[in-house]
Structure 1
Amino acid sequence: MSGRHAWIDASAGVAGDMLLGALLDAGADISVVQAAIDAVAPDSVRISTTEVTRAGLRARKAHVAALTGSPPHRTWASIRTMLTGLDQPVRDPAISVFARLAEAEARVHGVAADDVHFHEVGALDSIADVIGVCAALHDLGITSVSCGAVAVGSGHVRGAHGRLPVPVPAVAELSRGWQVFAGGDGELATPTGMALVRALAEVCEHLPPMTLDVVGVGAGGRDLPDRANVVRVLVGAAAGGDGADAVLVEANVDDLDPRLWPGVLAGLLELGAADAWLTPIVMKKGRPAHTLSVLCAPATVPRVRDHIFENTTTLGVRESPRRKTPLERLFVTVEVPGGTIAVKVGHRDGVILQAMPEFDEVTAVARAVGRPERVVLQQALSAAAERGLVTGNRLAC
């Protein structure tokens, strides 16, 4: 993993202001957060924090003060327009969070996503929570996020639509596919908090191995006698030396026209996946099928997931974290009759372990000069060997 990883402990619940408080407690610059909010709603919201205790534990409480009168209820379409003023590293995750909310509310109320009225979520303080969290993550240099099981609460609460069961319908919808548990009485997870988890966290997991850098603790509004009403964010570098974190996204598919698979795989690679492949399998009732496997960076998972749902017939995907340990690599260009070909060289501590011509370039030269690919490939390997690019040799300085 390049950058930093953040693991969210939502075992006592999660809300937008709690997660924002935890990230500010972890060292995010409040002025950076305020500037991002001002880019969307200038002179409308002021962010501040105070240190509090929750069940005897120190925590930071984020306060979001509206500087204007009662904000209007907003639709997802209007909020999406408001977010265009943000820089891309903050805008994209913020849009993803609100898109999750819109889809959940649309399903709950049976309306189109663009027509969803967010009520409390559309208020300035909730918009500030979402933008503030996304800006804080970027300010901290966090490039990947995961989260444990979320406590959602139990019982009933009163909302804009009257008395509602806990978890409230939007939280229940957002929780699909995630590990959740009751965790206590009352509403412990809000729609905004759950949407932040689902849009920003790539995987649901226990605390992953990491070299821990800092722990941020964000407080909820109530100080409960039986549990600390906090969200914790643990930030650090994933363990494993120079390896790189990745996510394996998979789906079993038995009813897709096989002529469509090449386009599906090509599209995944164009989105930035490190690799994508098919494995023949036999499913229930003896049906022949394929497992689609995609290896990608955590930040690419949402795009990969959307591509799979849009371009295959699967009803679900599974995701699991993986560790990658790549060789150092470089490209060396060699000359062959009729053109040049890049040779990918994999090495460790300066010793060559792999040297292989890029086959697309072999194919291009073969077509251009009218020679068989196997001949051009051999010429490229010979040219590489003349340059000393063979297994066991040391790289020339």
Structure 2
Amino acid sequence: MALVAYLDCPAGIAGDMCLGALLDLGVPLDYLRQELAKLGIAPEFSLNQETVWRQGQRAIKAHVHLHHAPSDHTPADHTSGHDHACDRHGRHWPEIVQMIQGANLPEPAQTWSLKIFQELAIAEGKVHGIAPEAVHFHEVGAVDALVDIVGTCLGLAWLGVERVYCSVLPTGGGTVRAAHGLLPVPVPAVLQLWQTHRVPVHDNGIAKEMVTPTGAAIAVALAQGFGSPPAMTLKQIGLGAGSQDFAIPNILRIWLGETETADPENVQENLHQETIIELQTQLDDLSPQAISYASERLYQGGAVEVFHQAIAMKKSRLGGLLTVLCPPAAEANCLAILFAETTTLGIRRHAQSRYILDRYLKTVKTPLGPVQIKIAYYQGNVINLQPEYEDCASLARQHQRPWQEIHQLAIAAALDQLSD
């Protein structure tokens, strides 16, 4: 049986909320303190837990107290209470990588931690127009981020979690005070992470910061999918509290459950059949920019594939055939987006049956850093290995090496580890 964790985020997600939920699931506080001390930051913080109530519901609040904080430190008004702390003594990404690699943390906690910080560095770099390795982690608080991120990965590893999934995330609203002044919510780094990974989001009507940069990075780096819970036998639920009071309980819920099969390597039949909806419309009066924007919205609305083909239409006009593939549950969303974002007056619909292979993500170590590999199985055999594009691209940028080289290193590492 494989142990899976589902991040249920009706009130959003932040690093300390993850820690609280994991502590509620039974991860020992002393274990987290002991392992986090290996990072060399023990004199800079203390970690404690407290039982609190949010809208009448009990949850665990994780408290990360910084020692010798700067005098001008102003806590932000958001979910975690410390994600945007202004830390004059923050650290750059390469230094944090060295700290994590030198801490001798248990696997997969080390690999997961590096992956999350990589996502944060890339997102912050894009926001500020600098290289990821030049990112200075004051915007998420260097010590706070280390405790929240590494602590979350340690907790998941201690529980034996093999796969992580996440719900659709709330957008929130309003403003939040950070090191650079007032920022709109969602803050730029969170928006960048959502855009890069095409994370489905929704507005739950609460104009507060509900997803912090640390929380967003944890979700996009670890989750194998966003949406409804995966099929599982539910074993336990951990509740982690945020700092504020909302109209709904400000609680992150981590569902812990078991799936019937541990890994696709042990399954002899990995071919499944499912229904897919194909939506098509022909367009000859819409700009490429509008089609690009509509495609982005369609992916956010649940489409699994969107593509545009050049065609010749009536009166010899050049146009395009816009095709959307989506699961039945996302059909209504995709129809609404097509009518709102394009000039179409009619959409063709076909319900089709398609065969799909089981696939899962595995993180492999290359000489230049970790890369996630998507592995597909059929009848017990590996038939496809595909490194994640963004992982290869980030390492290529970081080390100034060709993308193709990173891609080949990742495949070679995956083949070596699978053969072992």
TM range (shorter): 0.5 to 0.7
Aligned with 2:228 (options 175, 192, 206): 206
Q: What is residue 145 of structure 1 aligned with on the other side?
A: 164
Shift of residue 128, structure 1, vs aligned partner: 0.3
Equivalent pair of 1:156/1:165 in contact (CA under 8 Å): yes
Q: What per-residue deviation string (whole Å, max 9, x for no partner) do you get for residues 48-69 of structure 1? A: 1111000111110001122444
SS for the counterpart of 2:372 is helix
Equivalent pair of 1:154/1:167 in contact (CA under 8 Å): yes
Deviates more, 1:33-42 or 1:70-79: 70-79
Equivalent pair of 1:143/1:299 in contact (CA under 8 Å): no
SS for the counterpart of 1:235 is strand
2:212 equivalent to 1:162: no
Aligned with 1:78 (options 95, 100, 103): 95
Equivalent pair of 2:2/2:263 in contact (CA under 8 Å): no
Q: What is residue 134 of structure 2 aligned with on the other side?
A: 115
Aligned length: 273
SS for the counterpart of 1:214 is strand
Shift of residue 29, structure 1, vs aligned partner: 1.7
Shift of residue 129, structure 1, vs aligned partner: 0.5
Aligned with 1:303 (options 341, 361, 373): 373
Q: What is residue 17 of structure 1 aligned with on the other side?
A: 16
In 1: Cα distance, 2:194 partner to 2:159 partner: 27
Q: What is residue 228 of structure 1 aligned with on the other side?
A: 249
The RMSD of aligned alpha carbons is 3.0
Q: What is residue 150 of structure 2 aligned with on the other side?
A: 131
Q: Which amino acid aligns with 1:237?
A: E
Shift of residue 210, structure 1, vs aligned partner: 1.1
Equivalent pair of 1:167/1:187 in contact (CA under 8 Å): yes
SS for the counterpart of 1:186 is coil
Equivalences for 1:310-321 in 2 at 5 Å?
310=392
Q: Which amino acid aligns with 2:372?
A: P
2:26 equivalent to 1:27: yes
In 2: Cα distance, 1:148 partner to 1:247 partner: 25
Equivalent pair of 1:76/1:102 in contact (CA under 8 Å): yes
In 2: Cα distance, 1:283 partner to 1:130 partner: 39
In 1: Cα distance, 2:389 partner to 2:124 partner: 23
Equivalent pair of 2:2/2:260 in contact (CA under 8 Å): no
C-alpha spacing 1:92/1:69, structure 2 compared with 1 (3 Å): same
Q: Which amino acid aligns with 1:198?
A: V
Deviates more, 1:160-169 or 1:86-95: 86-95
Shift of residue 45, structure 1, vs aligned partner: 2.3
Q: What is residue 218 of structure 2 aligned with on the other side?
A: 196
Equivalent pair of 1:4/1:235 in contact (CA under 8 Å): yes
Q: What is residue 320 of structure 1 aligned with on the other side?
A: none
In 1: Cα distance, 2:113 partner to 2:123 partner: 16
SS for the counterpart of 1:299 is strand
Query: Who wins on radius of gyration, i.e. which is larger?
Result: 1
In 1: Cα distance, 2:27 partner to 2:271 partner: 26
- Percentage of matched positions with identical amino acids: 35
Q: What is residue 259 of structure 2 aligned with on the other side?
A: 238
Deviates more, 1:72-81 or 1:187-196: 72-81
Unmatched segments (≥5 aa) in structure 2: 71-86, 273-306, 312-355, 364-370, 375-385, 394-401, 404-420
C-alpha spacing 1:17/1:116, structure 2 compared with 1 (3 Å): same
Aligned with 1:99 (options 84, 96, 118): 118
